[in-house]
């Protein structure tokens, strides 16, 4: 039988498509088979940042790229989606993203709505203040005008435990000018995030961390509640730590800010029950 020209051309393309599907589907049956969509932060330098050229960088970006690689996806097959703190559970529930790697603390409440792999990082809640300001103590937090982000553990803790005068924004970076300008006393969230802002050239010397260790924030990889990828992602995280990649990602993303994170936490070490 003579093949029509179009079929001759289509055959290699079909073979390519099948290879991509087989390759991309290595970690489970979620996603569309030839790519993976990952939720990250877009405005947190050192963690998850999209720059003016739409290039992505940060510890979470490196962790997510490594995990995606272990699941069978090349970096070029990753689509990055912004995952604001308040939207993360909904994004996973709706299937907007296949996974979320976005300074996402594992908590018992969230673990009822989404599945978590990890943790892969341990941060602590702190306050970012103007370098000119007096350093607050835990006791003086109630007197401060603070900002944070709705749907974050940081905002929740301020409301529940400190009765703080809190203004909530959609993203943390929206608070920075208020601190420098004096309309806000402090931004509160994880020290890893705050260190990234303090190290930004545009705020050089103007912002300081208070050094209060207000919580343990165990960052997990968020997956849909019924995901079959939890074990594969945990294995990827273990490999990332064992082969030295985790240390390299820490050095490359936090080295210049002077932030020294805790050692990599053990898989399963975050509290998921009350």
Give the range of 92-100, 130-138, 150-158, 239-247 binding ligand GLU by CB under 6 A: 150-158
How far is residue 41's CA from residue 47's CA, in Å, rounded to a whole number? 7
Considering only 37, 65, 77, 153, the residue that binds ligand GLU (CB under 6 A) is: 153
Tell me which residue of 203, 184, 171, 168 sits closest to 103, measured CA to CA.
171
- Ramachandran class of 53: left when φ > 0, alpha when ψ lies in -120 to 50, beta otherwise: alpha
Q: At its nearest, how many Å lie between ligand GLU and the CB of residue 247?
A: 21
Three-state secondary structure string covering 138-187: HHHHHHCEEEEECCCHHHHHHHHHHCCEEEEECCHHHHHHHHHHCCCCEE
Among 61, 68, 128, 149, binds ligand GLU (CB under 6 A): 149
Binding residue for ligand GLU, selected from 104, 197, 246, 254, defined by CB under 6 A: 104
What is residue 36's DSSP assignment? E
Cβ proximity to ligand GLU: between 73 and 187 the closer is 187
**Contact mark string toward ligand GLU, 180..219, x via CB under 6 A:** ---------xx--------------------------x--
Identify which range of 8-16, 96-104, 114-122, 251-259 contacts ligand GLU by CB under 6 A. Answer: 96-104
Alpha carbons 246 and 120: distance in angstroms, whole number:
9
Distances (CA, A) of 85 to 20, 51, 56, 172, 181: 32, 19, 18, 10, 25
**CA atoms lying within 13 Å on the CB side of residue 170:** 6
Longest distance between any two alpha carbons in the chain, whole Å: 85
CB closer to ligand GLU out of 68 and 187: 187
The site map against ligand GLU for 154-183 (x = CB under 6 A) is x-----------------------------
Distance in Å, CB of 19 to ligand GLU, minimum: 36
Residues that bind ligand GLU (CB under 6 A): 85, 102-105, 149, 152-154, 189-190, 217
């Amino acid at each position: 039988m003579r093949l029509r020209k179009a079929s001759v051309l289509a055959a290699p393309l079909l073979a390519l498509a099948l290879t991509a599907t087989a390759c991309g589907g290595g970690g489970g049956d979620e996603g569309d088979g030839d790519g993976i969509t990952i939720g990250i932060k877009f405005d947190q330098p050192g963690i998850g940042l999209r720059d003016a050229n739409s290039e992505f960088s940060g510890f979470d970006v490196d962790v997510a790229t490594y995990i995606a690689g272990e699941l069978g996806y090349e970096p070029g097959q990753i689509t990055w989606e912004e995952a604001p703190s308040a939207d993360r559970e909904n994004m996973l529930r709706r299937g907007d993203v296949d996974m979320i790697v976005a300074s996402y603390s594992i908590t018992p409440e969230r673990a009822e709505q989404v599945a978590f792999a990890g943790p892969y990082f341990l941060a602590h809640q702190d306050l970012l203040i103007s370098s000119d300001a007096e350093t607050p103590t835990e006791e003086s937090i109630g007197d401060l005008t603070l900002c944070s982000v709705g749907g974050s553990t940081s905002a929740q803790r301020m409301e529940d435990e400190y009765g703080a005068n809190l203004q909530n924004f959609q993203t943390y970076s929206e608070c920075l000018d208020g601190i420098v300008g004096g309309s806000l006393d402090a931004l509160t969230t994880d020290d890893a995030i705050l260190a990234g802002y303090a190290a930004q050239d545009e705020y050089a010397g103007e912002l300081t961390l208070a050094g209060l260790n207000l919580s343990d924030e165990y960052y997990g990889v968020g997956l849909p509640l019924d995901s079959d990828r939890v074990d594969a992602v945990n294995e990827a995280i273990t490999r990332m730590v064992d082969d030295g990649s985790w240390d390299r990602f820490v050095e490359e993303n936090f080295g210049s800010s002077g932030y020294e994170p805790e050692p990599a936490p053990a898989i399963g070490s975050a509290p998921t029950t009350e």
